[in-house]
Structure 1
Amino acid sequence: MRTETLLVEIGTEELPPKALKSLAQAFASGIEIALQAAELSFDSVRYFAAPRRLAVEVKGLAETQADKVIEKRGPAVNVAFDEQGNPSRAAEGWARSNGITVEQAERLVTDKGEWLLHKAEVKGQSIHDLLQDLVEKAVSKLPIPKVMRWGDSNAQFIRPVHTLCAFYGSDSVVIRLFDKQSKNVLQGHRFHGSGRVEINHAEEYAAALEKEYVLADFAQRREKIKQELDRVAGSLSLSADYSDDLLDEIASLVEWPVIMQASFDESFLAVPKEALIYTMKDDQKYVPLLDDNGALAPIFLFVANIESNEPRQVIEGNERVIRPRLADAQFFFETDKKSSLESRLDSLTTVVFQKQLGTLADKSQRIAKVAEKIAGLLNASTAHAARAGLLSKTDLMTNMVMEFPDVQGVMGMHYANHDGENPAVANALFEQYLPRFAGDKIATDPISISVALADKLDTLVGIFGIGQLPKGDKDPFALRRAAIGVLRTIIDNGLSLDLVELVGLAYAELADKLTNSECQEQVIDFSLGRFAAMYQDRGISPDVIQAVSSKRPTQPTDYDARIQAVSQFKSNAAAESLAAAHKRIANILNKNKVDVSLCCDTELLTQVEEKSLHSAMQSIDSKVSELHKQRAYADLLAVIASLREPVDAFFDNVMVMAEDEAIRNNRLGLLNELRWMLESVADISKLVVVKN
């Protein structure tokens, strides 16, 4: 069967840069799913994406579907014919619908009866016949939040469509979308080249566009930008400050990337670098440059979409653009310094945090009180924690943060230092928001930790307390991020803090405002539920997480210690046997409704194997207790692993449900004691241990 490369491109006006990559990925995924549903074989699917195009390339695509036979079952034979053997109306109607007579029907005989059967041979359709529907299905599933119309057409898409191209090998495939019929014409670069280019084969696509100053491959274009940014920065003995998101957005803005270098007046460096970097990156998509100490240089890089004959004019144009933005930041900074953070406390009363939970002033006062108590638990300065909590939201009322919201916290730190606040207080104003995203650093100073935890707990308890729990993917108050922030702050700092106590502290300050009496338990369960995502991201298997979660340890560091120990134990040679034994024990005890307090009487032990098991348990009991107190869970599980042989021997030779009631109950008591020992770290019956 013939196989070729399929190419489908939609040429548009400039697509939204933040959405380009996701649109392209969705387009490729939609085509792939549609091809699979159509039972067309192929080797691979890739996407192309540039500001004015979305395209999909399918390698090794079969030209036609395979022929197949479809069995269409008719009515049962006893229904298909009357007593004289004449076809019934049901049989004749079924036959007509299949284009045959009743006499031509075959029979399907099974152990459940006999039916009429028609085997229809269906010829496979070609890609020429199928492509229209395939592309329509893929386009219909693109993540487009808002469509637009253009001209006098009724067509709708995220941006006006100018060209449509579809090739299967050298065959131009005719499809029609957005009131456009596919042709062999592509849009070249808007300013370079000939503007439009013709192709005659699917595999000419990328090379033909490159001649027209378009790098259609998104990943290739992005990598070129990255390498050039690093090269130019390196030549200046500086480093380019960019994130993956910024690279994606820049790559979505240009078709033919050209790296250019510009500068700004050094006087702007008196402004905190975070504000300058924010406006360069977020507002202009420029790339700041940093020295080895992380200081901002008065030089920046930007990515143009043209190779200019007069690059100096392009550079000067961008320097003119950035100057007023930096001047704004400078003005805001100098103006804000004229008023202290403390003087802004009253203005917090004018901003509502949440209608039922009060203003930012109310929230700040609650944070101050809870942070003070947490600092006491950490043996840190309660006065500094209370002060930092009180000032924690004041920078939100500054001109700088109102203009550049993403610099909240960091500007609070700078203004607090300017006001002469204690360095730990100033640092806490910044670190209170950490971690801001997955993988971000966390608060590490005790005062910062106190404020960061107090802030997140106030939000969690407050929002749960008024019944606004997250639903599905809707989480307007970022409660999932807050809960993970609490867990990471405690675990990564190795703190012996308990969620029950912490949630209780926040609840005490909010109780008079809350309507949900179950919110404390809900917040704890919600927070513990975040462990699953955290540890799965770290490669911990779900059964290990489930085994530990079943014990519901509310100290995050304790939870983490158990996770690490159980993960290690899972590879122990005794893990499989003890996990199976634990499951068996739980089933026996649950079935017989054994009271948790039931114990074993050594006088009633009769068989060697039960005596040996009891003796083995007794020999390690004190050690298990001591290791549990020390939270040396890995060592504890290693000790418990020594029970493997006596446990196996017990189940191989001892009848638990003996006829003698006293002996039966005593053996159940022995298993009850064994269960609690096996469950001292986690419910190991939930472990899925695969033999090597």
Structure 2
Amino acid sequence: MTDTVNRQDFLFELGTEELPPKALSTLSKALESEVMAGINELFGKQAATLLADTTVNAYAAPRRLALLINNLADEVPSSTFMMQGPPARIAFDEQGNPSKALEGFARKCGTTTDQLQEIDGKMSFSQSVPAKAITGELPAIIENALSKLPIPKRMRWGASRTEFVRPVKWVVMLMGDEVIECEILGLKAGRDTRGHRFHYNHAITLNQANEYLENLESVGYVIADFDERREKIRAQVEAEGAAINGIAQIDDDLLDEVTALNEWPVALTGRFDDRFLEVPSQALISSMKEHQKYFHVTDSNGQLVPFFITIANIESTDPAQVIAGNEKVIRPRLADAAFFFETDKKRTLESRIEDLKSIVFQQELGTLHDKAVRVAALAKHIAAQLGQDQDKAERAAMLAKTDLMTDMVYEFTDLQGLMGYHYAIHDGEDEGVAQAQNEQYMPRFAGDELPQSEPGIAVALADRLDTLTGLFGINQPPTGSKDPFALRRASLGVLRIIIERELDLDLISLIAFATEQHSNLRAEGFKVNHEVHEFIMSRLRALYQDQGIAIEAYLAVETKPGEMETKPLVFDRKVKAVSHFMTLNEAKSLAAANKRVLNILTKNNYDGLSKASEALLQEDAEKALATAVAEKENQLKPLIAQGDFKAVLEQLAELRPVVDKFFDEVMVMADDEAIRNNRLALLNQLRNLFLGVADISALS
């Protein structure tokens, strides 16, 4: 049936005032997703067949969102619709009259009882649904898609009550060469798009849907394809950097934003005064990036050079004038940064500690000064645990938030920490203390680098643990998707620092110390410590999944009975050991054996308080297992002490033959109670060998 369906190209374009640049790509993807969801629903069970040869392309530029669907079936083929109702045995009474159930089913189907028929023991209604043109359905699909776009705040314009993210100026709806007659967001659809606001601000008539891209670019000076425009900008920026013997630094977020701001991008290079290079480069970069959307340039050594690259949304006949205008605009911006830097240096970070008392960290947790005192105590404690310089850790923590009180960080908030480092160096602080000012925020995001200096490590851990214990202590943990204090990210940061820096730290004791630094917490300390520890350690599950480690390896360690593992580094080594163990040939058999042992011990309520007696061993297989278990107990002690859990499990893998033979030849549940209990004790010893690392039965 579908072979006879005609196919045409469908174009929808919504022309608007300039759309929010940071939302443009999201809006475009959402429009495509919602429209295709509507078409799939319309086609129903035939969607896979009808859309097999269909291609979809979404386009987005500052003044337009568009969707071009090639080879779209122009009608929904006819089909047969059937509904099943009540069983035939209750459809009629003894006199042959329709039952209430049957009459209700008929009304639901919009028909009468005499139009119903029995199929497979049930009264059923079938109806032929004729084919219908898709052009009659597309306007509603488009309207529905537009209403579902992720727009936090919609606006109205003029006297219209229509709402959208920006005022709508035109609508194009074409199926092949025909306009789909409809009204979208208060405007009548047509075949006229518009060109570039400055180069060609006129109507461009489209005779066919598939003329869209070509006509816009060749006539209207508009590159509608976001990805094409993005790569063109990238290439131009790189070429501009190379032309001045530099390397243009392209930040992906900035590239996306600039792409969303320009329809006809042209890269131009400007220059700023060399004297501004005396200001920390990141301050200059932030000023250029945030305020002007410029790309900065470095030399081969990564040092900032006094050039910038801007993207003009116009092909000027006098580019030098455009460049001069941009240089004029950036000069006061950089001068502000230089002024802030020089002004801030007139006061030391230490002199700003008292200023922290004026800033509230959280209403119930006090000021930034209160937090600094708590973090300093915890950082000093962490340094002591690691055998590091406690005074430096304490000093770094007391200074850690003081750069928030500077003019530079007030103006450029993303420079917090980094400016603290520069100001600490200027003040003559110890290098490690200075580094900690920036490293306290590391890792800032997934995959970010970790703190390197000893004070930096101590402060980074202490700051996060203070926030975690404080928020849990006032009963404000993250809920669902809401995590205003980024406690999940903080937890991952704690784990990454401890594990990747190989720190032998007991997390529960650090949490307890952090909790003690708080006053007037609502929750009891023990409850806070338990909840925070559980919350932090639970983050490991996602971390291991990102690393490609099987969830079973994590569960084998996490669900191990007995005392909870409180050292993240030890926990991690055990998980990595189990992950390696799972690759061994013996793993599957030993996991199954451990599962069998667990079931036997559980079923017999074995308390595990005694060891197997050599005098009660009867079978050769159980004697062999007892000997092997005793030997492994001695061999594994130094490996466990060293934390070499991979070697432990490799040693235990050697038990497979003797374990298999035991279960093949020995009846554990012997009639003699003493022998039975002795065999249970032997199995318990075997299980405990594995439990020194993980519950291997969880792998089965």
Tell me whether the two structures share a fold, i.e. TM-score over 0.5. Answer: yes
Matches within 5 A, 1:180-329: 180-211=187-218, 212-329=220-337
Structure-2 change in CA distance of 1:602 and 1:125 (3 Å):
farther
Q: In the alignment, does 2:553 pair up with 1:544?
A: yes
- What is the alpha-carbon distance in structure 2 between the residues aligned to residue 169 and residue 564 of structure 1? 58
Q: Is the 8 A contact 1:467 1:516 kept in 2?
A: no
Assess, with a 3 A threshold, how the Cα gap between structure 1 residues 332 and 615 changes in structure 2: closer, same or farther.
same
Alignment coverage as a number of residue pairs: 684
**Aligned equivalent of 2:536:** 527
- Residue type of the alignment partner of 1:216: A
Q: 2:80 aligns with which of 50, 69, 72?
A: 69
Change (3 A) 1:174 1:550: farther
Contact 2:11 / 2:68 at 8 angstroms: preserved in 1?
A: yes
Asked whether the equivalents of residues 234 and 250 of structure 2 are also in contact (C-alpha less than 8 Å), the reply is no
Q: Tell me what 1:583 maps to.
A: 595
Q: 1:132 aligns with which of 127, 139, 164?
A: 139
Do the aligned partners of 2:172 and 2:189 also contact (CA within 8 Å) in 1? yes
- From 118, 122, 130, the equivalent of 2:129 is 122
Query: Could you give the per-residue CA deviations for residues 276-313 of structure 1, whole angstroms, max 9, x where no partner exists?
Result: 11111112111111122222111000111110111111
Name the structure 2 match of 1:416: 424
* CA-CA distance at 1:92 after TM superposition: 4.6
What's the CA shift for 1:640?
A: 1.6
Bigger shift: 402-411 or 48-57? 48-57
Distance 1:178 1:579, change over 3 A: same
More divergent stretch after superposition (637-646 vs 147-156): 637-646
One-letter amino acid of the counterpart of residue 271, structure 2: S
The secondary structure found in structure 1 opposite 2:657 is helix
Secondary structure at the residue paired with 1:116? strand
Alignment of 1:552-591 (within 5 A): 552-591=564-603
2:12 corresponding residue in structure 1: 8
Query: 5 Å matches for 1:291-690?
Result: 291-513=299-521, 515-517=523-525, 518-551=527-560, 552-687=564-699
Residue segments in structure 2 that go unaligned for 5+ positions in a row: none
- CA drift of 1:412 comes to 0.9
Deviation at 1:177, TM superposition (A): 1.9
In the superposition, relative to structure 1, how do residues 208 and 272 fare at CA in structure 2: closer, same or farther (>3 Å)? same
Change (3 A) 1:84 1:677: same
Partners of 1:351 and 1:459 in 2: how far apart?
16
Deviations 1:174-215 (A, max 9, x none): 343211222112222111135321223332222222221111
Q: Which residue of the partner structure matches residue 31 of structure 1?
A: 35
Matched position secondary structure for 1:165: strand
Work out whether residues 194 and 201 of structure 2, in 8 Å CA contact, stay in contact via their aligned partners in 1. no
Q: Aligned equivalents of 2:100 and 2:401: distance in 1?
A: 80
- Partner residue of 2:119? 108
Residue 397 (structure 1) shift: 0.8
1:392–1:89 CA distance, 2 compared to 1 (3 A): closer
Are residues 1:18 and 2:22 paired?
yes
Farther off after superposition, 164-173 or 99-108:
99-108
Cα deviations by residue, 1:126-160 (Å, 9 ceiling, x for unpaired): 32132123223322221110000111111111111
Match for 2:155 among 148, 151, 154? 148
Task: Identify which of 91, 94, 98 aligns with 2:102.
Answer: 91
- In structure 2, relative to structure 1, the CA distance for the partners of 1:427 and 1:63 (3 Å cut) is same
Deviation at 1:104, TM superposition (A): 4.6
Query: What residue is the counterpart of 2:168 in the other structure?
Result: 161
1:78 aligned partner, one-letter code = R
- What secondary structure does 1:593 align onto? coil
Cα distance change on mapping 1:86 and 1:15 into 2, 3 Å: same
Structure 1: state its 5+ residue gaps: none
- Percent identity of paired positions between Structure 1 and Structure 2: 47
Q: Tell me, yes or no, if the aligned pair for 1:462 and 1:514 is still in contact at 8 Å.
A: no
- More deviation in 562-571 or 468-477? 562-571
- Matched to 1:550, the amino acid is T
Deviation at 1:659, TM superposition (A): 3.7
> Shift of the alpha carbon at 1:60?
3.9
TM-superposed deviation, 1:377? 2.2
CA 124–608 in structure 1, closer or farther in 2 if over 3 Å, else same: farther
Partner-residue secondary structure (3-state), 1:78:
helix
State the distance in 2 between where 1:99 and 1:457 align. Answer: 65
**Is residue 131–residue 175 contact of structure 1 (8 Å, CA) maintained in 2?**
no
- Amino acid paired to 1:506: A
| DSSP 3-state at the match of 1:252 | helix
Deviation at 1:50, TM superposition (A): 1.1
665-674 vs 219-228, which deviates more? 665-674
Describe the superposition over 1:505-538 as per-residue Cα deviations: whole angstroms up to 9, x where unpaired.
2122225545343111111111111112222222
C-alpha distance in structure 2 between counterparts of 1:607 and 1:67, whole Å:
76
Cα distance change on mapping 1:553 and 1:220 into 2, 3 Å:
farther
1:225 Cα offset (Å): 1.2
Instruction: Tell me: CA distance 1:234–1:682, structure 2 relative to 1, closer, same or farther (3 Å).
Output: farther
So what's the TM-score if we normalise by structure 2? 0.93
Cα offsets for 1:207-265 (capped at 9, x unmatched): 22222111111111111111221222123222222321111111111111110101111
Q: Distance in 1 between matches of 2:541 and 2:415?
A: 31
Cα RMSD, aligned residues only: 2.1
Opposite residue 19 of structure 1, the aligned amino acid is A
How far is the alpha carbon of 1:101 from its aligned partner?
Answer: 5.3
